[in-house]
Chain A
Amino acid sequence: MQLIFEKSRAGRKGFALPEIDVPITGALPEKYCRKTQANLPEVSELDVVRHFSNLSRLNFSVDTNFYPLGSCTMKYNPKFTEKVAAMEGFSGLHPLLPQLLGGGMLAQGSLEVLYNMERLLSEITGMSAFTTQPLAGAHGELTGVMLIAAYHKHNGERRKHIIIPDSSHGTNPASASIAGYDVVVIPTDKEGFLDMRSYKQALNRETAAVMLTCPDTLGLFNPKIKEIADLAHAVGALMYYDGANLNAILGKCRPGDIGFDVIHLNLHKTFATPHGGGGPGAGPVGVCEKLVDFLPISRVVRRTDGTFALDYHKHKSIGYIAPFYGNFGVILKAYAYILALGKSGLIEVSENAVLSANYCLARLKDYYALAYGKSCMHECVLSAARQLEQGVHALDIAKYLIDKGFHPPTIYFPLIVKEAMMIEPTETESKETLDAFIEAMIEAASLSKTNPEALRLAPLSMPVKRLDETRAARVPDLRWQPK
């Protein structure tokens, strides 16, 4: 497919400016004039429309195809939430309004949404309070670690490190490190859980926190989670819950009840708001009672007369972490989703997410090696170790699935699983879709024996064939240049 620059023809135009009917007053100062050619494409309006319409048809999304990208929870984003977020009363509101004298009374509906959302998320996770401000999951993580640091500092303690398992999301050590902590990595034991011996060795009075994902990135729920939390608390460390996988346990157990002190949620995962380019994201952070005072400002409060306001007078607060009140549109969509599903609906979300993943695991375990365990929670991690004997890698299977119309699962993560393929089907897919995907995976397994070359050449049906990813990383070609 040609780039729009390659479609350019000298002199072709998409618009015509009227003749100038005012006097021209001198040239632009020299310093504002560009020295090099802009090299903009010269194309007609039709060229532009066709170019971008065709590009958009190549787009791959959860609205067009099955997207079992493990750990990312690419579930369907129901359209009614878009409608709610587009309501003029919300979308037309100026973000400064609640900060103006008397302005808050004109923004009561939106403030109430934020207030209620905090209460709902607290109820779902068993925490005391939430901030909806963080603009993404990773931003939430950093906010959470900053809250932990503020708590220890307030108690006059200088704690040095944060304990993180080797199966963690890469953002965990990154957040801890940015907040100024050393990272102590704990290996995974043979069953796929945190190695308790190494954990106990690493844990001491210099431990600021233990960051865990539960169920973890292997799709397993750690049966010793309570013991892990108790051990951490015994040395004064806090427990951090990476809520990326909360969608597996909604209404089944609450991180706050287990003993977690800080939690971040990815609204675009568990609560079905759009991801990435369809986003932006939202990563609310919840805390237990003893951390409430440190939450970022502003806080949404309910006055005694029942009206809502923003409170900026929190002297222990870690301060501002984002402009205004977070990605309000995203929070609103998640709020609508939670209200529409209700308690029983949310419980079904988790039950069906776990059922779908176990169905995939049960049907694929004869064809692919299992990383750990015999069952899983909301995602299953398979390994292409058997296929590797024929010289077929997880990457080849992933590329083959593209030809079959499926987004590949996450591959090579978690890092501790050789040739990992991490499948997260989510609760929103039908059995027919799961079966079609499973059949494609089974075909790939049999092709790896009969015709491994076919897998190594995939994808064949796409506008670009197999890309040389190594060369792309070593010699990146990031920008079109005129010849």
Chain B
Amino acid sequence: MTIPEDLLYTKDHEWVNIDADKATMGITDFAQNSLGDITFIDLPKIGIQVKQSEWCATVESVKAASDVYAPLSGEVLKVNTELSSHPEMVNKSAYEAGWFAVIKIADLTEKNKLMNFLQYKEYIESLSK
């Protein structure tokens, strides 16, 4: 299970990469592994406002459909349109090619609610106990 050191994480297994006022987000390796083969991804529309911990995308796998929550609030600037024809990219490359969206960060203090890689690692370990 890979957990890059330079990203922040949510309890719902989203990752976020903060670059100045922009945040790139996706789901973690742990999330894609638990979901199994992903078959469809419903991404947010560009320009909508998402709120931290609220819906921003839906992922369907062979096992189930799950909601993905926004790690930070803000406007959706860009989405990874490649995922609509190649949802398997999330299975293959959760942190790189499998990114979901770029959000214009509305409130940077919200990042205090996120976990760093060590906290997330500990959190995942506590789940499998």
Q: Which residues of A contact B (CB under 8 A)?
A: 412-413, 415, 418, 469-470, 473-474
A309 to B79, CA, bound (A): 59
B87 CB–A CB distance under 8 Å: yes
**Cross-chain contact B63 with A412 (CB below 8 angstroms):** yes
Q: With both chains docked as a complex, state the minimum distance between the C-beta of A175 and any C-beta of chain B, in angstroms.
A: 16
The 10 A-B pairs with the shortest beta carbon distances in the complex, nearest first, are A473-B39, A470-B37, A412-B63, A474-B39, A469-B62, A470-B62, A415-B64, A470-B39, A473-B62, A412-B64
A397 to B40, CA, bound (A): 25
Interface size on B, residues (CB 8 A): 11
Residues of A within 8 A of B62 (CB): 469-470, 473
Q: With both chains docked as a complex, state the minimum distance between the C-beta of B49 and any C-beta of chain A, in angstroms.
A: 16
Residues of B within 8 A of A412 (CB): 63-64
Sample of 20 A–B contacts (CB below 8 Å)? A412-B63, A412-B64, A413-B64, A415-B64, A415-B66, A418-B34, A469-B37, A469-B62, A470-B37, A470-B39, A470-B62, A473-B37, A473-B39, A473-B40, A473-B60, A473-B62, A474-B39, A474-B40, A474-B87, A474-B88
- Please report which residues of chain B, range 21-76, place their CB below 8 angstroms from some CB of chain A when the two chains form the complex: 34, 37, 39-40, 60, 62-64, 66
Q: With both chains docked as a complex, state the minimum distance between the C-beta of B17 and any C-beta of chain A, in angstroms.
A: 27
A18 to B60, CA, bound (A): 54
Q: With both chains docked as a complex, state the minimum distance between the C-beta of B69 and any C-beta of chain A, in angstroms.
A: 11
Residues of A within 8 A of B40 (CB): 473-474
A65 to B64, CA, bound (A): 27
A474 to B62, CA, bound (A): 10
Residues of B within 8 A of A473 (CB): 37, 39-40, 60, 62
Residues of A within 8 A of B60 (CB): 473
A302 to B66, CA, bound (A): 48
A469 to B63, CA, bound (A): 10
A460 to B82, CA, bound (A): 37
Interface hub of B34, B63, B88 (most chain A Cβ within 10 A): B63
Residues of A within 8 A of B34 (CB): 418
Query: In this complex, what residue of A is CB-closest to B65?
Result: A170
Q: With both chains docked as a complex, state the minimum distance between the C-beta of A7 and any C-beta of chain B, in angstroms.
A: 32
Residues of A within 8 A of B87 (CB): 474
Q: With both chains docked as a complex, state the minimum distance between the C-beta of A415 and any C-beta of chain B, in angstroms.
A: 6
Residues of A within 8 A of B66 (CB): 415
A413 to B66, CA, bound (A): 13
A461 to B88, CA, bound (A): 31
Q: With both chains docked as a complex, state the minimum distance between the C-beta of A471 and any C-beta of chain B, in angstroms.
A: 9
* Interface bits B67-101 vs A (CB < 8 Å: 1, else 0): 00000000000000000000110000000000000
Query: In this complex, what residue of B is CB-closest to A419?
Result: B63
Q: With both chains docked as a complex, state the minimum distance between the C-beta of B58 and any C-beta of chain A, in angstroms.
A: 12
Residues of A within 8 A of B37 (CB): 469-470, 473
Residues of B within 8 A of A418 (CB): 34
Q: With both chains docked as a complex, state the minimum distance between the C-beta of A5 and any C-beta of chain B, in angstroms.
A: 27
Interface hub of A413, A415, A470 (most chain B Cβ within 10 A): A470
Query: In this complex, what residue of A is CB-closest to B37?
Result: A470
A415 to B66, CA, bound (A): 10
Q: With both chains docked as a complex, state the minimum distance between the C-beta of B85 and any C-beta of chain A, in angstroms.
A: 9
